[in-house]
Amino acid sequence: IMVLIYSALFLLSQTSDSPTSLAISVALIIIATPYSVYDAALWLSALATFGIVTTTELWEKKRDMSALRKAVDYVGSSLFVTFVATSGTLAITAFVFGATSLLAAPATLIFSVICELVLYVGSFMLILGDIIPIGKILAPLCELIYDLASIMSEPDIVYLQIDSVLMKILILIYTI
């Protein structure tokens, strides 16, 4: 929904506004399914997306840079966006689930890079998928990603229980 609104705004006014597109998308979802206002997944997605689009827009600068500087800038912006997205969802995660993941930021960073690679590989497969059996080539990688996700979501290792009122207040202050 957000991409459609973003595209429509660009086509109609020759500009694009990600926060507005996100707000309209969330409003449409709530109008279509009013009970979704109580859905933690909607708010986690909306807040993480808000953090990503606002920090990405602030970080991006149109300037000439060397390849090394572009790589360093890409890593720096990825770390910053991951930190903001994780911070923005911390309070909801703590209050809804009663715990927070100690690996949320590293997992977000790792899996965002993997998702970007999957998008490129998927585009490649659309073009040459019938010629090159890339699915068989990537099967071990898919298993590795699944194993990594399983390890990073192991409750005994990863999650910090949020039991005290003081901890909840500190998390709320930090998120704001």
Assign 12 to helix, strand or coil.
helix
Say how far apart CA 106 and CA 141 lie, in whole Å.
19
| Own/partner long-range contacts of 76-82 (Cβ < 8 Å, ≥24 apart) | 78/109, 78/112, 78/113, 79/109, 80/55, 81/51, 81/52, 81/55, 81/56, 82/108, 82/109, 82/112
Summarised one tens digit per residue, pLDDT across range 73-104 is 777 777 777 777 777 788 788 888 787 777 77
For 3-12, the pLDDT digits (tens) are 788 778 778 8
What are 23-77's pLDDT values in tens digits?
888 999 999 999 989 988 888 888 888 877 777 666 665 555 677 777 777 777 7
Query: What is this structure's pTM?
Result: 0.59
